[in-house]
A and B are shown apart, each in its own frame.
Chain A
Amino acid sequence: MTEILITHGFVIDPTQNINGDVADVAIRDGKIVDTVGSGAKVIDAKGKVVMAGGVDVHSHVAGPKVNVGRLMRPEDKLFKSPMAQEKFRMESGFSVPSVFKTGYDYARMGYGFVMEAAMPPIHSPHVHEEIHDTPIIDEAALPVFGNNWFVMEYLRNKEVENTAAYIAWLIRVTKGFGVKVVNPGGTAAWAWGLNCLKLDDKVPYFEITPSEIITGLLQANEYLGLPHSVHLHQNDLGNPGNFLTTIDSLKLAEGIKTKNKFGRTQVMHSTHIQFHAYGGENWGNFESKAKDVMDYVNKAKNITVDLGCVTLDETTTMTADGPFEHHLHSLNHIKWANTDVELETAAGVVPYVYDKDIRVCATQWAIGLELGLYAKDPERVFITTDHPNAGPFTRYPRVISWLMCRKARDATLNTFRHKDKVIEATTLDSIDRELTLYEIAQMTRSGPARCLGLSKMYGGLAPGMNADVAVFDLNYKSMPTDPVAIEKALQRAALFVKSGEIVVRDGTVLSHGHKKTVWVNVKMPENPQVVRDITQCFTRDYTVGINNYPVRDYLAPHPYVIDVDVEA
């Protein structure tokens, strides 16, 4: 029986409305408890902030396209990999870190759970191989559905029940977590070199539109009552003037009611919204529409978003939005990898330099922050960088310091070559708001945990929850005036307890922890038509056998399985 008592810290826990009260956090056997015995290991957190472990709602950390990014970018390692900690595995890479560095760096920042944001189903064994090689952090993965032949076929015929039955089967066999949708219809069109930029563009052959796919999947997701909602990467990503399509897509959630037993309140999570909040007609008059987008998001209670903040780094973009990566490559001409995946999806990888002295990049940076600063309900707006697309996850502390300090924003803005143009194209300069650490805890802990339907386990410090506890060297009653000090404190936790075990102290990793793979087991009565369709499709169209497709149990060696019973 391991007991730990973290004493005298400033506790910040939005799930219990605790805002900086000095209190103790007690831990026994991997869970938060009310009290512990006198034999507990006592850790003095006096003058420090104590929060739940961070929850990352959207990050590309494991799987085929992440690995393509690693493989094709040796330059991402050159002079950018830290020296290994003694007795720990070597760490490689900056924008696409190796699995070891991924686990260590998340832990060093006090993060306990990370959602791999896009898993091509046929590659799910690969995703799970990487997940089980990633130390410390708990992970889950979202299989992609938005361009899947079964989904498009069933939804064209308005068969929501069959779609749901197929989703249930696929999530189960891939040991996945929920329904990810990437550029619905557009990626399928990309298999013929085309795209769907508008919500009513027809997908070649399947004769279905993106809006029909989104609506159908929203209905199927609630039919199943999954822990997480539809997780949507919208159409027309990254193009000037896309904010209208963005708002129209968000409107598809209107009238759809949540149905789940996991405390989730939204029916749609719209991811990396920064890439979807652009005005203007071309790169010349490219401007921010963050306010318009957030005005809608603030009103629509059944929607959550994450930011996808640009961090102004050299990074590696990677997405299942195949046509977008092809388009991006035509803009920067660096190098382009693409993988079209039979019947399911596609993916592209292109390195990208967000140069602060390029007006468009600097404007993108401002838009990401504007979105966060316009958030009325921080429980529905989460901090991400769409790692590694807008920047690596290791920059979260910097993003947080920008959101918390006007001074930090100004300092960065003042270094831009096109400062005046960025001010003109955005409203950032007119925003004085500085987020509090409590709001940051909502945006990185309680909010994303609830959005994922995991609020009973992660994101808070209430008794019974997982004992993921991060201690940061920040005095809540007299916060540092220097934003760099905030960034530094968040970058390297003073202490991180993961599942009741001390894994990081003073920013140094002490243990490989006991990571878990979280997946959802949807149980529903067998649907003969869907079973027949799947069997037939594997015989005829796939190039792998149906018996070799489901992820074998040993690849997810420490599962935490969430059962979902669907009534007939």
Chain B
Amino acid sequence: MPKLITQVGCPYCGSSCDDLEVLVSDDNKTVLEVRNACIIGNNIFLHANDPTRPKLPRMRQPDGSMKEISYKEAIDWTAKTLIAAKKPLIYGFGSTNCEGMSAVGRVAEKAGAVLDNCASICHGPSFLAIFDNGYPSCTLGEAKNRADCVVFWGCNPMHAHPRHTSRYSLFPRGFFTQKGQMQRKVICVDPRETDTAKLADVHFMLDQGHDYDLFDAFRTVLRGHDIPDIVAGIKREKIVEAIEIMKKSRFVMIFFGMGCTHTDGRNHNVDIAISLTRDLNTHTKASIMAMRGHYNIAGPGQVWSWQFGFPYCIDLSKGTHAHMNPGETSSIDLAMRDEIDCFVNVGTDAGAHFPIEAVKHLKKHPFITIDPNFCMASEISDLHIPVRIAGVDEPGVVYRMDNVPIQFKAVIDGLPGVPSDEELFDMVYERMCELTQTEPVWLAAKAHRKYPSSAVN
């Protein structure tokens, strides 16, 4: 009899929907059907059935081909490579669980590595703005239950976060927003007419790269000063009108995305967006939220903040204390300067996302990918170690884009012999300790969870 598992978390985007229903086969090995998910989430579950999924690590051979090796060999090679490297970079973690992120902290400390996550190439500028200006935000339920004015600035949830608008931001009928979409004024700021822009009451099709100007104009008007007739390609009247809408609303919710962080201005765009939110709070209630990309990309920011005090770009190579200085200790910058002599790509695809020059530099040195699937990074790697898929065959805590922790389930059994990220990192750590003849440091949490687990051997 197939089993229906309800309230399943979705390992795709930062919306981290946890209302999926997954029908699995009686033997817990196959996903039969996925309900409630968007098409991408749906495919992530069904993809787990793929019989060609890697089940063993693959090592690059002198002739350039890849050969399957045992986990023991892969772990040994990874441990030795990390110990030998002067400045390894361990990067990724957009798509895995917090247990893995916690375990890798131990490995990175031991290896004297730089620890970085995908925020480095997406919401890193938002972190810089938060360091400077704070972050007046809320959980997504507040947007659902209260927001009667929603601003999408430089983001396109209709494509990037397919169920965001229906679960949280636009369509749902909340406690104080019983009329749903009818009750919400939607403002979209985007130089393109995106599918999100088509839903908006007001679409500001601003000149590309002029987000800061427009934010500044918003603040200026809000503070009762005059602005030029046209700012960033937008007429003054429209700006004044938008500010009136916001001031009259009971709860203004601003969502921003890569359109702010990766256009001219970058962190300054986010900085002034935060200032605008703060200013709005003198008139009404306002909140701002970064549209984080992956289902657990907020996770490393949390886990590493409590372990090291920094959310990303964490240089542990000094051995005695953690150091963060984006620009100096950020992945792309390190790679472009060729400072990295070992690269570990975890739960992301640096091969697809990094500039080609950065990848070329990284490729000069040992290049390891830890990922359940084949991807561009895995195909250029010296070693590819498959792991279980967090949220599909491995449970764990993930942090939604609003930093709410969601405890994800596993819906099917993992492939036999394939470890989770956490187990893999613990095994690498133990091997590193063996090789360096040091005592491993386990905390209470690990006492009865650490390797060897049932999954391996």
Name the A residues within 8 Å of B438 (CB-CB): 87
B141 within 8 Å of A by Cβ? yes
Contact check, A74 vs B141: say whether CB atoms are below 8 A apart: no
Considering the chains assembled together, what is the distance between the CA atoms of A183 and B167 in angstroms? Answer: 30
User: Which of B134, B250, B439 makes the CB contact (< 8 A) with A335?
Assistant: B134
Among residues of A, the one whose C-beta sits closest to the C-beta of B109 is A90
Contact bitstring A79-105, B, C-beta under 8 A = 1, else 0:
001111001111111001111100000
Name the A residues within 8 Å of B7 (CB-CB): 545-548
Contact check, A337 vs B135: say whether CB atoms are below 8 A apart: yes
Closest approach, in angstroms, between the C-beta of A125 and any C-beta of chain B?
A: 4
B100 within 8 Å of A by Cβ? no
Contact check, B405 vs A129: say whether CB atoms are below 8 A apart: yes
Stretch at the interface among A368-376, A387-395, A552-560: A552-560
B203 within 8 Å of A by Cβ? no
B185 within 8 Å of A by Cβ? no
Contact check, A544 vs B133: say whether CB atoms are below 8 A apart: no
Considering the chains assembled together, what is the distance between the CA atoms of A554 and B395 in angstroms? Answer: 11
Name the B residues within 8 Å of A132 (CB-CB): 443-445
Closest approach, in angstroms, between the C-beta of A89 and any C-beta of chain B?
A: 6
Considering the chains assembled together, what is the distance between the CA atoms of A193 and B279 in angstroms? Answer: 12
Known contacts A336-B134, A338-B138; A193 and B302 CB within 8 A of each other: no
B140 within 8 Å of A by Cβ? yes
User: Which of B316, B322, B403 makes the CB contact (< 8 A) with A77?
Assistant: B322
Considering the chains assembled together, what is the distance between the CA atoms of A122 and B399 in angstroms? Answer: 12
User: Which of B6, B135, B447 makes the CB contact (< 8 A) with A547?
Assistant: B6
User: Which of B142, B250, B403 makes the CB contact (< 8 A) with A64?
Assistant: B403
B187 within 8 Å of A by Cβ? no
B441 within 8 Å of A by Cβ? yes
B285 within 8 Å of A by Cβ? yes
Contact bitstring B1-45, A, C-beta under 8 A = 1, else 0:
000001101000000001100000000000000000000000000
Closest approach, in angstroms, between the C-beta of A178 and any C-beta of chain B?
A: 22
Contact check, B306 vs A67: say whether CB atoms are below 8 A apart: yes
A525-568 residues at the B interface, CB under 8 angstroms = 540-548, 551-552, 554-555, 557-558
A514 within 8 Å of B by Cβ? yes
Contact check, A74 vs B131: say whether CB atoms are below 8 A apart: yes
B406 within 8 Å of A by Cβ? yes
Stretch at the interface among A34-42, A341-349, A420-428, A458-466: A341-349
Contact check, A514 vs B444: say whether CB atoms are below 8 A apart: yes
B416 within 8 Å of A by Cβ? no
Contact bitstring B117-136, A, C-beta under 8 A = 1, else 0:
00000000001001111111
> Which range contains the number of B residues in contact with the other chain?
35 or more
Closest approach, in angstroms, between the C-beta of A357 and any C-beta of chain B?
A: 26
In the complex, which of the residues A126, A346, A558 has the most CB atoms of chain B within 10 Å of its own CB atom? A126
Closest approach, in angstroms, between the C-beta of B426 and any C-beta of chain A?
A: 14
Contact check, B307 vs A133: say whether CB atoms are below 8 A apart: yes
User: Which of B136, B139, B302 makes the CB contact (< 8 A) with A337?
Assistant: B136
User: Which of A67, A89, A340, A540 makes the CB contact (< 8 A) with B109?
Assistant: A89
Name the B residues within 8 Å of A339 (CB-CB): 137-139, 403
User: Which of A99, A125, A205 makes the CB contact (< 8 A) with B405?
Assistant: A125
Known contacts A125-B405, A342-B141; A87 and B301 CB within 8 A of each other: no
Name the B residues within 8 Å of A516 (CB-CB): 444
B132-167 residues at the A interface, CB under 8 angstroms = 132-142, 144-146, 167
Name the B residues within 8 Å of A76 (CB-CB): 309
Contact bitstring A460-494, B, C-beta under 8 A = 1, else 0:
00000000000000000000000000000000000
User: Which of A73, A135, A548 makes the CB contact (< 8 A) with B407?
Assistant: A548
Name the A residues within 8 Å of B19 (CB-CB): 545
Name the A residues within 8 Å of B441 (CB-CB): 87-89, 512
Contact check, A335 vs B306: say whether CB atoms are below 8 A apart: no
Closest approach, in angstroms, between the C-beta of B235 and any C-beta of chain A?
A: 30
For the complex, count residues of A whose C-beta is within 8 A of B.
75
Name the A residues within 8 Å of B146 (CB-CB): 191-192
Considering the chains assembled together, what is the distance between the CA atoms of A66 and B444 in angstroms? Answer: 21
User: Which of B9, B285, B439 makes the CB contact (< 8 A) with A191?
Assistant: B285
Among residues of B, the one whose C-beta sits closest to the C-beta of A84 is B320
Contact check, A192 vs B251: say whether CB atoms are below 8 A apart: yes
Closest approach, in angstroms, between the C-beta of B192 and any C-beta of chain A?
A: 29
User: Which of B174, B306, B406 makes the CB contact (< 8 A) with A70?
Assistant: B306
A24 within 8 Å of B by Cβ? no
Name the B residues within 8 Å of A71 (CB-CB): 127, 130, 301-302, 305, 310-311
User: Which of B142, B174, B319, B397 makes the CB contact (< 8 A) with A129?
Assistant: B397
B102 within 8 Å of A by Cβ? yes
User: Which of A66, A84, A193, A515 makes the CB contact (< 8 A) with B284?
Assistant: A193
B297-333 residues at the A interface, CB under 8 angstroms = 301-303, 305-311, 316, 319-322, 324
Among residues of B, the one whose C-beta sits closest to the C-beta of A83 is B320
Contact check, A98 vs B445: say whether CB atoms are below 8 A apart: no
Closest approach, in angstroms, between the C-beta of B387 and any C-beta of chain A?
A: 19
Considering the chains assembled together, what is the distance between the CA atoms of A66 and B403 in angstroms? Answer: 13
User: Which of A77, A130, A551 makes the CB contact (< 8 A) with B310?
Assistant: A77
Contact bitstring A119-149, B, C-beta under 8 A = 1, else 0:
0001101100110110100000000000000
Contacts A126-B403, A338-B138, A350-B134 supplied; 9 other A-B pairs, CB < 8 Å: A67-B302, A87-B439, A91-B321, A92-B309, A92-B322, A129-B98, A193-B281, A339-B137, A541-B145
Residue pairs across A and B with Cβ atoms less than 8 A apart, 17 shown, are A71-B301, A81-B321, A84-B319, A87-B438, A89-B307, A90-B321, A92-B322, A99-B307, A123-B404, A130-B306, A191-B142, A191-B146, A191-B285, A338-B134, A341-B138, A555-B397, A558-B444
Closest 4 CB pairs of A and B: A342-B141, A92-B309, A545-B7, A335-B134
- Give the interface of A toward B (CB within 8 A): 62, 64, 66-68, 70-74, 76-77, 81-84, 87-93, 96-100, 122-123, 125-126, 129-130, 132-133, 135, 191-193, 205, 326, 329, 335-343, 346, 349-350, 512-516, 540-548, 551-552, 554-555, 557-558
